[in-house]
Chains A and B, each alone.
Chain A
């Protein structure tokens, strides 16, 4: 049965650039499917060779989901249920990718460390209806700012945001969460060729066996089935313990700084409605709640503009947090804004790469973001992906510029990422350290 399913699915998408990979994997498929049958179904046991097909399918679904969310009819209001379901799908895939990334000794436990004030609201988020919400912690964390802008797309009053990009302001969040694995999956062919365990890519590349031994499969919890991503990763609680120890093993500069950074990383907002475009102009712009968010929210959600304002403020300040960890960055005047009250949305699932994203906002501020053809979400969507792509490139920037340019191919367009690094060349050493930790080299 599984054989039939997988085969069918693959044929649906075996076209274009991926055909080569399909053909290469025909032989692998058979073995992979047999392996996954034992694992109990599609996508549950991507061990060994079936992981490639699983990853490919997951990536395809991820892309499809993105396209669905952002190619919307201008006149009519899209169905909320459809958006919610697609959003959940994206979250699940992102969580999976994150957890895959966290198989390496990274700093991102699926649930944030307890010392982070941002977490309070997150833990107290109202349990979702009808489902065991206990396991939903990390999963709920992906706030869907998509819903906010999409419900009411008015013209943008914010000067920096292009008028038709309201709905897309959450795009960066959708894409940036898992940039490096995304990169790896977006160009599987090139990565397969280049990656032989090159840690600079920091990708859990499908062909290479996982660096850490695959965790034992826990018995599937009914709640986990509906909420959590793959069961391959042990329950959050245990991973929290695992990571700090992994951290301490690392011989890096100031471990506390890194831990703090990690803490900040784990709590960075995934979905502040418009972090990237809004911070593009300058990190030092005074953080006032974006007018973009507020009027929109007041219309859509009735009486909750303050939540949106808080969200935006937090979005900005979580981006600032990693900045704080770096000594050379502008000091605390901007940190005060982080005193904003904890909002449930802010303590989103630890997207380890979000701190990098924040860095990218500054580093790649001039990036041309016109790579996606979506309408109306062109710019922001592209921003997100580019910055996400840029994350993977950040490390190669440090280690190998050639790799950067080769990776830049299909998805980054004509933007010269390298040039944007100039303002922070001084900090490259520190960044280098941090990036090595983040990507688990």
Chain B
């Protein structure tokens, strides 16, 4: 986005001229932790802000746990790559929490080049009664000490401190776009445009390259990796998506390099192989022990909707496994698709996010909006999926009832406790009251990052530099 601001001014597109007073405050990622107690946000200035949910108090039952700032720290600093004469942005691309094992919280945060493991711990006691120094910290004159005492821990104001415990650097030539913690809680993957690297959380000076799609000749590069994620239960399985709209499910037990380039077979044959292996599995999802063939998920293109921009809008911007591990959700520019992991020739469900933009693709290409990377997210029970759109709209799709809703995250429309009003974009000629026409959408207000509480219906939506947290209505 930052690089396109100039282009937008030059093109005089229908984007309003925007002035980011605090560009460093633009939120670049949001993530709930596995219990939902903490919510982390990363911004363009390299900072991480962690919110914690208030404990629900019996005295005020209406006041459900609200999120307040818990910790703020500077995760990444801007760097300069002297070799290439390029700036390395400090923008936090992704934050992933580690499941909580002890009192402290751990999260991974990454910018374009470096992943860091942060430990967030509380301190609410401090030792008092040192012998050799005062409460102020001044060294006492040893000659004045007449008796010894044992320091005791006294309560103090809660202090939350964040320390960087590991720094995983120098493993990526290209820009890291995603990280994912393995279910074994010992390893994680970091993904850049052409490679996926596997790390051990304890070891920072070594990583294993498990996917490499860099061609021998960079001039032949036509496809990049856009996202990757570990399977939530299977510690040997991960998926990665590409800019050509395909998803590959990989099994790390197959080979050291989950690449399959040289062994790629036409789709028909591949399906035959998968059919055979699926039958072997016994058909019950992922409980099998046999080795599995890598699967390529790709939907053949619909010739009736083909245009110049077909490839660009098919580029997958986000891939997310469902919580139960049976489905995969992908987000491309105009749609969200849910895939059954057992069926790789077409998605199970396709949801149109903002199909009214299909006629505007040329302008969106001109002002670079077509390259916006929207994320998508499952709710805790995998029954509802959510993703963002323009004009600070975000959309939710109920997979069971097939109903969808468009909501807006804006200060004018959201007072505390107010119920969000569904919005509608009109595509035809006649615009009803309350509807917004496609041409009056604000394309500078985009909701790229959203997250859903793992158990409850609480969502966090990042709208540029504002964070909105919405909760289910309490009866």
Contacts and interface: CB of A to CB of B under 8 A. Distances in A.
B391 interface: no
User: Most A CB atoms within 10 A — which of B220, B307, B314?
Assistant: B220
A260 to B, nearest CB: 26
B305 interface: yes
Interface in B135-183: 173-175
Interface in B209-258: 213, 215-224, 226, 242-248
A413 interface: no
A35 to B, nearest CB: 15
Interface stretch (A36-44, A282-290, A394-402): A36-44
A166 to B, nearest CB: 11
B7 interface: yes
A80 B224 contact: yes
A129 B87 contact: no
A76 B89 contact: yes
Nearest to A273: B219
Interface in A256-295: 271
Nearest to A63: B366
A41 B304 contact: yes
B212 to A, nearest CB: 10
B174 A12 contact: no
Given A41-B307, A44-B303, A154-B84, A130 B173 contact: no
B262 interface: yes
Contact of A64 (B89, B112, B221, B365): B365
Interface string A380-410: 0000000000000000000000000000000
A263 B193 CA distance: 36
A130 B218 contact: no
Contacts of B220: 125-126, 140, 143-144, 344-345
A300 B84 CA distance: 8
A144 B219 contact: yes
A342 to B, nearest CB: 11
Given A127-B261, A128-B223, A225-B300, A80 B246 contact: no
A345 B219 contact: yes
Contacts of B247: 130
Contacts of A127: 261, 264
Given A76-B3, A89-B311, A148 B193 contact: no
A241 B314 CA distance: 35
Given A154-B84, A220-B303, A226-B301, A79 B223 contact: no
Given A61-B308, A84-B224, A130 B3 contact: no
A351 to B, nearest CB: 14
Interface string A140-166: 100111011001111000000000000
Nearest to B427: A4
B215 A125 contact: yes
Contacts of A73: 2-3, 6
Contacts of A89: 308-309, 311-312
Interface string B309-320: 111101100000
Interface string A239-252: 00000000000000
Interface string A49-80: 00000000110110010011001110111111
Contacts of B173: 300, 302
A222 B218 contact: no
Given A89-B311, A299-B84, A57 B362 contact: yes
Contacts of B308: 42-43, 57-58, 61, 89, 92-93
B340 interface: no
How many B residues touch the partner, as a band? Answer: 35 or more
Nearest to B247: A130
Contacts of A92: 308, 311
A75 B86 contact: yes
A68 B366 CA distance: 8
Contacts of A300: 84, 173, 218
A318 interface: no
Contacts of B6: 71, 73
Given A143-B220, A311-B219, A42 B307 contact: yes
B366 A64 contact: yes
Contacts of A307: 216-217
A76 B111 CA distance: 13
A72 B217 contact: no
Contact of A76 (B2, B10, B194, B306): B2
A143 B222 CA distance: 9
A44 B261 CA distance: 31
A174 B278 CA distance: 46
A8 B312 contact: no
A271 B362 contact: no
Contacts of A345: 217, 219-220
Interface in A189-228: 220, 222, 225-226
Given A40-B304, A81-B226, A344-B220, A129 B311 contact: no
Contacts of A329: none
A84 B243 contact: yes
B359 A9 contact: yes
Nearest to A230: B306
B293 interface: no
A424 interface: no
A428 interface: no
B358 interface: yes
A9 B362 contact: yes
A71 B247 CA distance: 31
Given A75-B87, A129-B248, A80 B222 contact: no
Nearest to B268: A132
A338 interface: no
A293 to B, nearest CB: 11
A85 B311 contact: yes
Contacts of A82: 368, 371
A77 B175 contact: yes
Contact of A40 (B217, B243, B303): B303
A161 B213 CA distance: 32
Contacts of A9: 359-363
A149 B248 CA distance: 30
Given A127-B264, A225-B300, 20 more contacts: A41-B306, A42-B306, A42-B308, A43-B307, A64-B365, A64-B366, A73-B6, A75-B86, A76-B3, A77-B84, A77-B87, A81-B371, A85-B311, A85-B315, A88-B311, A127-B261, A128-B223, A130-B242, A133-B264, A152-B86
16 contacts: A9-B363, A41-B304, A42-B306, A42-B308, A43-B308, A64-B366, A68-B368, A71-B10, A80-B194, A81-B243, A89-B311, A129-B246, A144-B219, A147-B219, A147-B221, A226-B310
Interface of B: 2-3, 6-7, 10, 83-89, 112, 173-175, 193-194, 213, 215-224, 226, 242-248, 261-262, 264, 266-267, 296, 298, 300-301, 303-312, 314-315, 358-363, 365-366, 368, 371
Q: 9 tightest A-B contacts by CB?
A: A143-B219, A130-B246, A222-B300, A225-B301, A5-B359, A80-B193, A8-B359, A220-B303, A345-B219
